[in-house]
Amino acid sequence: MKQIIPVSKLAKRCFASLFGLLALLCLFVPAAVGGVLLYPDDTRLRMDIELLKDAGYFAGPISAWPLDLTQVFSGGVLKTNDPAVEAAYARLQSQWFLRRSVELSFGYRSGDPWAPGFGNFFRSRGETEVHATLREGALSVVLRAGMTYRNGGPAIGHFDGTAVAYDLGTWTVYGGLPDRWYGPGWDGGLTLSQNARPVPGIGLSRRLPKPFSRTIFKYLGPWRFDAFLGRLSHHREISNPYFLNFHLAIEPFSGLEMGSSRGLMLCGEGRPCDLETWARSLVGLFDADNTGTEQEPGNQVASFEAQYTFPAIGVSWHPYTEIFIEDEVQDVSTVFGLRVRRSAEGRVWWVRLEHVDTLANRILGRPEPGVTYDHFIYRTGYRHRGDVIGHPLGGDARGVTVEVGLVNKRGNRGWLRYRQVGYDPESMEAGSAARAHALELGYDHRSPRNRVFVQGRLGNVSPRSPQLNLDEAAVELGLSVSIHKEARTTRENGSR
């Protein structure tokens, strides 16, 4: 009799063998020109990319990270008289020509972060890391090894950020622990952000988001698709479930980006993991994936996003939004934001306002506490190693951020930020919800081989709660030193 392999065991074997497939691809698949995977850990880097995109240098959605720098340098020749755009181009070009680098970084924080958003320098109270990068042909290798120091606990080693990627023309396949981020927000992505430690897994990304050439779909404009499959940790009520995430974004015309993402948590210890379970989770039609019973295939979330950039009265306006939906359509959380930017004499200043609400259905007038990022089967919720995979504030929260900042001629960045955070958990009586206010002042100094990051915070928390038991005053310090080697490439897209 032919042996039938259970889908769960088959998935485990496939998951392990795909890392070996990356090595085989390096040997047998014709090499494309290797790109550079950019992680969501550098705010200035994202600002430089947006500056070039708004200047018309390249096209395509840029709301999913890791982002391949190949997309940026697919634009050809830069034509601009703006010194700030030229400076951003030069900084990104130095990344493009980087072939080998070693970086040592240190970080210290005297208190827990209130909402570590895009570009968070490090996650814990203290951190020491070594980063090594190698690019050869179509192969890119990033090795990160570090020690994390938590308040009152022992040092913990990790390899967060380690990844191997191989470029297949328009697509990139990768495996490892890269930081990921979906969505246009800066304080957090509702579906996926870098709040939690990276989920180990394999991924596929369309690194060159060109439009369809002949079909009616060409009117969608440049499009990009990202997907990854990973496994969450065993430190859960249902251990080792699979975590599958998709993100699709389009740019129907210049300035407008629209996207959608889906996250699925399924299988795990004691849960069904057959083909029917996967099919019901993936299809998700007619409540096939949301039965409200123990037979429900898993925990599913989805989001829709839109952002538009346009010039008016001498500045660049950038409104954006993300709508997050839990297992049922009516369980809605939201992000709304507006960023205004102006460049003059080689400097770039900006003002940003962002509002997030993760209390399900508050926007519809029917608030439902205890829904967002929680699940009646996967009781650990939408979390990895204790932290929410989505927005850093977690569920039942409302947050407002007002930020002003400047990038000077040398590329150094300074900012002043006001945050207001509130929680309305189900266990609290009306009028007793926790509230917090904070003022943050920071400076990020850069040189070709060094980086110094400093940020101070003063705030007030009243009353304290498990969600807002934070230090009201804190200092954040970061330092990195790098050694790198640049190698000019024959690729024309990296030159002016």
- pLDDT tens for residues 107-141? 998 877 777 789 877 777 888 999 999 998 899 99
- Calculate mean pLDDT across residues 156-167: 93
Q: Which residues contact 172 (CB under 8 A, 6 or more apart)?
A: 35, 37, 68, 165, 166, 204, 205, 206, 207
The answer to whether residue 175 sits within a structural domain is yes
Confidence of residue 4 (pLDDT cuts 50, 70, 90): very low
Q: Which domain range does residue 11 map to?
A: 7-494
Confidence of residue 495 (pLDDT cuts 50, 70, 90): very low
- Calculate mean pLDDT across residues 400-422: 95
Q: What's the CATH code of the domain at 344?
A: 2.40.160.130
The C-alpha angle with vertex 358 and arms to 352 and 362, in degrees rounded to 5, equals: 105
Share of the chain above pLDDT 90, in %: 53
Q: Angle formed by the axes of helices 275-283 and 7-28, to 10°?
A: 70
Other CB atoms within 10 A of residue 172 CB = 25
Higher-pLDDT residue of 245, 327: 245
The answer to whether residue 94 sits within a structural domain is yes
Q: Is the pLDDT of residue 442 over 60?
A: yes
Q: Is the pLDDT of residue 430 over 80?
A: no
Q: Is the pLDDT of residue 75 over 50?
A: yes
The answer to whether residue 2 sits within a structural domain is no
The answer to whether residue 327 sits within a structural domain is yes
Tally the domains of the chain.
Answer: 1
The answer to whether residue 1 sits within a structural domain is no
Report pTM: 0.88
Confidence of residue 21 (pLDDT cuts 50, 70, 90): very low
Cis amide bond preceding 392, omega within 30: no
